[in-house]
Amino acid sequence: MRFEPTAIDGAWLVVPEPHADARGWFARTFDAGVFAERGLELAVVQANASFNASAGTLRGMHLQREPYGEPKLVSCVRGAAFDVAVDLRPDSPSFRRWHGTDLRAGEGTAFYLPAGVAHGFQTLTDDCELHYLMGHAYVPEAATGVRWDDPAFGITWPAPPAGGRIIAAKDRDYPDFTG
Q: Which residues are identified as catalytic?
A: 62, 132
Q: 3-class SS at 156?
A: coil
| Best CA proximity match to 29, nearest among 94, 83, 74, 85 | 74
Omega before residue 134 within 30° of 0, cis: no
Residues 6+ apart with CB under 8 A from 172: 147, 148
Q: Provide the 8-state DSSP code for 124.
A: S
Bin 116: left if φ > 0, else alpha if -120 < ψ < 50, else beta: left
| Best CA proximity match to 133, nearest among 171, 54, 77, 79 | 77
Task: Detail the DSSP E strand segments found in 22-156.
Answer: 24-26, 46-52, 57-64, 72-78, 80-87, 98-104, 110-113, 117-123, 128-134, 143-145
Residues 6+ apart with CB under 8 A from 106: none
